[in-house]
Structure 1
Amino acid sequence: MGYKNEDEIKRALGIESWRHLSKEKMIRFVAMMPDMSTEVALKIIEQFPAFKDFAKDVVGVMEKAYESTLSNNKQSQEHFHRACQEVREILRVELNKDNLSREDKKFIIEQIQETLRMEFQKDSENKQFLSGNLKRVLAGAGAALALGVVFVGGKVFAESKDDPEGSLEA
């Protein structure tokens, strides 16, 4: 983390206070966010109420979408695992029959192993899906927050045009 406090960030932006944060400097601020500690970024963002409201709404919507995806995925996973268990149970019943040849028994055991491989593969795919989905949600939330900062910057810029002295109360 390159920036450890607000004063360092204000110096880097060339401003004395957050009231002087123009649209251009707001965009620079967004670009600097990855180099800030989370606490410092939050402390600065909290000074812009519209940004906080926007960020809360976006994160709430994304959270609901993610939860819905997880719920649907869980149901699909459970259905697949139940089906595999049922197939193995059928195969076990067949395997217990007395009149099976060695080849028949071998085939049934291979089928049981195949269902286990399928479940292992499905579990691996599911973990990749969940990981990818989480990354997309986090990227989306980050992008939404960045857009929110730009939106607030645009509002600050527009309000500073109305203010003859070009400042905005934070």
Structure 2
Amino acid sequence: MSEVDSDGLSEREFGSLKKLARKNFAKFAVAIQHVSTEAQLKLIEQLPEFRKLAMGAVESISSAFEATLDADERSEAHVHEGYREWRRALISLLEQQDLSLDEKLRIASLIGETVKEQAQFDSRGKAFKKEVLAKVGLSVLGVVGVIALALTGGKLMVDDETDDA
């Protein structure tokens, strides 16, 4: 007779559930609802399918996030360089000796405008990154939720069948 572990599952039952998870996830999701929470957690920890699924989804989300940030940063670098070139051109105009005070003030004002516009652009970029990061966080939570839903969904199916009987 096999030894019963601290969660009330024998080694044989534990092994059967692991095997069922590999063969038929839907039946596993139903069967796991009939064991303690501790046993459920132990099973999930030991099933590479869950880890692979969760890690694969999180890695995919992470890769997409990194690619988005890289593309955004490259794009931002071009825009920032454009603002710097624009200011350099304006500054070179200021160095001309034949400009009136009014023209110099107008050019100085344009330089100030480039600084304000660049700061606004930078703020929008930071807001975009925060939004993307929030979506990544929600996506990761979604992965966890789907796994939890798969497990609790099995319990609901069993409960419905019991109610119908």
TM-score range with shorter-chain normalisation? 0.5 to 0.7
**TM-score, reference length from structure 2:** 0.67
- The verdict on how the C-alpha distance between 1:108 and 1:100 changes in structure 2, with shifts beyond 3 A counting, is same
1:94 maps onto 2:101 in alignment: no
Residue in structure 2 matched with residue 147 of structure 1 by the alignment: 146
In the alignment, what sits opposite 2:135?
Answer: 136
1:66 aligns with: 65
Q: Distance in 2 between matches of 1:106 and 1:147?
A: 61
TM-score computed with the length of structure 1 as normaliser = 0.65
Larger helix proportion of the pair = 2
Instruction: Give yes or no for contact 2:29–2:151 (8 Å, CA) kept in 1.
Output: no
Distance in 2 separating the partners of 1:43 and 1:102? 78
Closer/same/farther in 2, CA of residues 99 and 59 from structure 1, 3 Å limit = same
Tell whether the 8 Å contact from 1:23 to 1:156 is kept in structure 2 after alignment.
yes
When the two structures are aligned, how many residues end up with a matched partner?
Answer: 134
TM alignment of 1:48-63, pairs within 5 A: 48-63=47-62
Distance 1:67 1:95, change over 3 A: same
Larger Rg: 2
User: Structure 1 residue 107: deviation in Å?
Assistant: 0.7
* Structure 1 residue 53: Cα displacement: 1.2
What are the superposed Cα offsets for residues 97-123 of structure 1, whole Å, 9 maximum, x if unpaired?
Answer: 011111100110011001100111111
Offset, 1:146: 1.2
Report the AA paired with residue 88 of structure 1: R
How far does residue 151 in structure 1 lie from its aligned partner after superposition?
3.0
User: Is the contact made by 1:55 and 1:144 (CA closer than 8 Å) also made in structure 2?
Assistant: yes
Whole-angstrom CA distance in 1 between matches of 2:75 and 2:87: 19
**More relative contact order, 1 or 2 (CA 8 Å, 6+ apart):** 1
1:97 is paired with a residue whose SS is coil
Identity of aligned residues (%): 27
Q: Distance in 2 between matches of 1:95 and 1:132?
A: 40
Residue 109 of structure 1 is matched in structure 2 by 108
Structure 2: gaps of 5 or more residues: 1-5, 18-27, 34-40, 159-165
- Matches of 1:90 and 1:121 in 2, distance apart? 21
Output one character per residue of 1:32-80: Cα deviation in whole Å (capped at 9) or x when no partner: xxxxxxxxxx877424432211101101110110011001100111000
Unaligned runs of 5+ in 1: 1-6, 11-15, 27-41, 161-170
Sort the Cα spacing of 1:24 and 1:120 in 2 relative to 1 into closer, same or farther, 3 A.
farther
Matching of residues 31-42 of structure 1 within 5 Å: none
Name the CA shift for 1:150/1:23 in 2 (closer, same or farther; >3 Å). farther
2:117 corresponds to which residue?
118
